[in-house]
Structure 1
Amino acid sequence: MFEYEIAAARNADLIREADAYRLVREAEKARRASSRSQEPERAVREHRSRFARTA
């Protein structure tokens, strides 16, 4: 019975840890999306002049 209680406690710890990790990732994603919507769009750089034309 003791091993079952340890396993149940470990399972609960892992679930809490996963929830915290998920929350942090969602916050980072939301922060990135918010900062992207506030800054003006960037110009696309032309890379055609960097490469030689092929035959």
Structure 2
Amino acid sequence: MHAPELQQLRSAELLRRAEQERLAREVARSNRAARRAATARTAESESHSRLGRLGRLRPPRTA
């Protein structure tokens, strides 16, 4: 192969790799955002339900 053809192949490969890495970063970012949202929902629902539940289920402490 000639030098220009090799350069074109290398360039195309670099572009493919860059696109794959960009997509991987985007997926990771999306997954992190989904985990954060799920954690926030869980923490919010637990904070509301836990306060009422703990007060009812725990017996009074003895001195």
Unaligned runs of 5+ in 1: 45-55
Q: Deviation above 4 Å: which 4+ runs of structure 1?
A: none
Structure in which a larger fraction of residues adopt helix: 2
Please give the TM-score of this superposition, normalised by the length of structure 2: 0.64
Q: Displacement of 1:21 after TM fit?
A: 0.2
Please give the TM-score of this superposition, normalised by the length of structure 1: 0.73
Is the aligned partner of 1:22 residue 2:35?
no
Number of residue pairs aligned between Structure 1 and Structure 2? 44
Superposition RMSD on alpha carbons, in Å? Answer: 1.2
**Identity across aligned pairs (percent)?**
25
Unaligned runs of 5+ in 2: 1-10, 59-63
